[in-house]
Every structure is written in structure tokens, then in C-alpha cells.
Amino acid sequence: MTETENLQFDADHIWHPYSSAAYPSTIHEVVSADGVRLTLKDGREIIDGMASWWSTIHGYNHPRLNQAAKDQIDQMSHVMFGGLTHQPAIDLSSKLIEMTAEPLQHVFFADSGSVSVEVAIKMAIQYFFAQGQTKKQRLLTVRGGYHGDSFGAMAVCDPVNGMHSMFEQILPKHLFAPLPTCESDEDWQDEDIAEFRDLIKNNHDELAAVIIEPLVQGAGGMRFYCPEYLRQIRVLCDQYDVLLILDEIATGFGRTGSLFAYEQAQIVPDILCVGKAITGGYMSFAATLCSRQVAQGIAADGSGVLMHGPTFMANPLACRVANESLALLAESDWQTQVADIEQQLLAELMPYQDLALVKQVRVKGAIGVIELKQKLDDQMDWLPKFIVEQGVWIRPFSNLVYIMPPYIIDAADLTVLTQAMGKIVEQLSLKLLSR
């Protein structure tokens, strides 16, 4: 089929993320990808500022990741993990245990980030259930968070301003503290944690866990908050016998400047969710790690059976590619790459702070965000086409224009992205402020 025919078929039959079948959004057909560039069917090349939703940290079409996938296919692409094991899963578990905090010694492989959150929630509830504390069935989190689109994960996303408000009546009722607002430890005040403290103090007898994205709230709003908030949460969880789940699906593997964001707060979670960049963006894969205390606690009733088991759990092909992706990360100078991206983002995005439409510019690690004073929901008929015309791929949402590029991006390509962000904001200013 021609490109026009392909796109028409797509519009008529295929659902894309957060799209309407009745009113399909503008899409572009990609035929290949290499490094930081996507090649469209019409021949145009565009620089990807999204790293395919933050996952392709090494860039596209990496020869070592390609070879790892090819080698594994020749051995076996999949085998069930029930009653069987294989070397790629053993190697990957070893890598994850080695690169995370020492207490995290048990690994559960999942198909996606949402599933890893589901597993983490089950771990927490089963931990207390196995010890006879059957009332501890709820979670505490903060507003503005995002943890996935499956039902357990949706229940701990923001229930009012998040993407899942229409399901509110059938989701479990968890507890929500106000948004973390303190951006710097230097500005910390005890009142920043006061309402959170009251919620855990007054409800700890029914709370199994706190779940939170450390330092960066991702798809819920690209907000950053200070490490002291996390340290305070860790103290409160210990004080009131509540487990701490950290969702590092977006922040893990170097995105914020440390290998894991929790390291910047010098704390350790009881349960850790990782995903996205784990395979370098090659395929959907994730993992949930927990401490010995949690794993042994789940077994305290004599059975110890964690009630989850995906068909494609520990898929050998995904494990093999993940092993190579983590090896690439370990061998690279990713700390310098991320630090250089951060400094360039600060230098090139901060001038846009002065634009009338801009509410705030913020940067952390390899994350650059321009928050606007108005939402963009009614601008998506023309905006995707305009973005591609700038030679880039950026996907704004709500009132945010942001990028999270591959770590391998060079300074010249990053400048193209930041300049495109400025052009997007300027064009939006003409349309929104002239009304």
C-alpha cells in the first residue's frame, strides 16, 4: 500500500495510545530508526526527543543489542518460566541485584511497567496477609503520580486530575497526600511532609505500602521534588510498619543523573519497580525487586506463593537484550552524558522562562520540561504536523512540552530539539494568547 493508504487503514482500524477510534489523531509512518533519528516513509529524518517514551537510552539500531537479539533467537526465543529457568534470566537477575541496593535480593520479571507495579502491590499486601495483618490492604501515595494503566496501577494514579478519572468508582480506594512541592533540600520545611505524616499516622493499621515515583513524577506532570521528601517518607514507613515501593520505571538506569533516583536521597526501598530502559527500548520488559524481608514475609504463612505468573515472564529474548543493554550502560560514560545533557538543557531552555505563555522551565538529568499556563488539548489537530516540520519528534501532553532524549545524543542534535521546543511554544503563544 502507499503511504496514504497505510495511514488511512491505520486511521480506520488501529488504536494508538490515548487515542479515539472515532476521531483519530495525526500520525506519521516510520520505516526505520538509527541512533537518535527516525526515518519517515516520505523520506524525512527527524530527531527523536522522546527516546520512544524514555526507553531507547542507547539510541536505535544499536549493533550490540541487535546481535544479542539475533544470537538468542538462534537458541530459543521463548520458554515458559514455570518450573524452568535459563541463563539469560539468571544473568539478568544477577546484574539487577548487583546494581541496586544490597537489601534488594529477589527479582520478579514482568511484561511491562504496569505489570511490575501490579506485582509490587501484590507483594506488599501478601506480605502483611501472610503474617495475619489482613486489614493492611490499602496504599498511600501522593497526588499527581502515574504508575500505569492496568487497574491496580490506575488505583494509585491521581484519581482526580489523572487520565483514569472515569474509572474512579470501580477502583480500590487508596489514600492520597498533597503533591510534593519542595524542589530543593535547602528550602525544606517540616510542613512539607505534615499532611503525609498525618495520613500514615492515622491509617497505618490498614496501610500495606506507600508507592511513589522518586524525585520525578513522570507522565502525571513531569514534576520534580527534593530528596528530603523521600528521606522523610522512608522514616515514616519504618516508624509505622508500612512498606515502601519506589516506581523507578521512568527514572531508573541513569535518567536523573544517578543510576537510580533513590540514591540521591540515600534511602533504600522495600520494593523497586524498573522497566522502560531495561532493554534499551528493544521490547516491553520490566522487573520488580524486593528485599529478603519482603520475600520471606510473604512465605510466613507456610505457602509463600506470590500470586502472579505472566505467560511471557522472563522471556529469554528480552532477558538477553536486557543483559546487553545493562552491560552497555555499565561500560559507557553515561554519568557524563547525562550531566552534559542537563547542562545544555539548562542553558538552552531557561531563556524560554520569560515567554508570557510559560509557567515554568525545569531540568533534571536528561529531562527538560517547559510547563505552560494553558493546556494543549485543543491544539493537537495541527501541532503534531508542526513538530515534524521542525525536524524533530516531541510529544507534548496536557500543558507540557518536554524531552527525554537518548543519552547518546550529541550537542548539535540536542540544540535542534531545544530550539524546536522554543518554536513550539512561540507558535502556541501566537494561537493561544491571541484569542
Cα separation, 11 vs 325, whole angstroms: 34
Q: Is residue 183 classed exposed, middle or buried when 0-12, 13-18 and 19+ CB atoms within 10 A define those classes?
A: middle
State whether residue 341 is helix, strand or coil: helix
Between CA 280 and CA 97, with CA 247 as vertex, the angle to 5 degrees is 65
Catalytic residue among 60, 127, 146, 229: 146
Could you tell me how many helices (H) and strands (E) the chain has, helices first? 13, 16
247 annotated active-site: yes
60 annotated active-site: no
Largest CA distance in the chain: 68
* Interstrand relation of 271-274 and 286-291 (parallel, antiparallel or unpaired): antiparallel
Q: How far is CA 203 from CA 138, 310, 384, in A?
A: 9, 33, 45
Catalytic residue among 247, 262, 282, 364: 247
Cα separation, 388 vs 102, whole angstroms: 45
Catalytic residue among 276, 282, 352, 402: 276
Cα separation, 111 vs 72, whole angstroms: 18
Phi, psi of 288 (to 5 degrees): -120, 120
262 annotated active-site: no
Q: Is residue 84 classed exposed, middle or buried when 0-12, 13-18 and 19+ CB atoms within 10 A define those classes?
A: exposed
The amino acid that residue 243 corresponds to is L
Catalytic residue among 18, 23, 354, 377: 18
Place of cell 499486601: 125
Contacts of 247 (CB under 8 A, 6+ apart): 113, 117, 120, 145, 147, 211, 212, 213, 214, 273
Phi, psi of 247 (to 5 degrees): -95, 100
- Sign, CA torsion 316/322/326/329: positive
Cα separation, 357 vs 432, whole angstroms: 8
276 annotated active-site: yes
Active site residues: 18, 146, 247, 276
